[in-house]
Amino acid sequence: MTGKAKPKKHTAKEIAAKADAATTNRGGGKAGLVDRTGLDKGGHAKFECPHCKVTAPDVKSMQIHHEARHPKIPFEESKVTNLHATVAVAESSKPKPGIRGSLKK
């Protein structure tokens, strides 16, 4: 008689690695900076609402959000935060530190 094959269970190492990956805050670093800021695409989260910190890609979308969520407060375009202007661009002229090899001869 043939029976159903036993499903393989996850090992403790796999479960621990998965839990670690889910709970540890790993920063985006310089590799994802362009994508996060949207400098090359001109999109993503560019503007931020000063009241509730919700992001929008353009001023018109932010105005629509503001009229829907904050109807009693008048919309002022000058108070909307431009997130792309606040992100500091990394200096490329700064020399990278050299890698020091072994001193053994």
pLDDT of residue 104: 60
pLDDT tens, position by position, 17-26: 999 888 887 7
Name the pLDDT band for 93 (thresholds 50, 70, 90): low
Cα separation, 41 vs 32, whole angstroms: 13
The pTM for the full model equals: 0.44
pLDDT of residue 5: 74
What's the rounded mean pLDDT across residues 34-47?
63
pLDDT of residue 63: 93
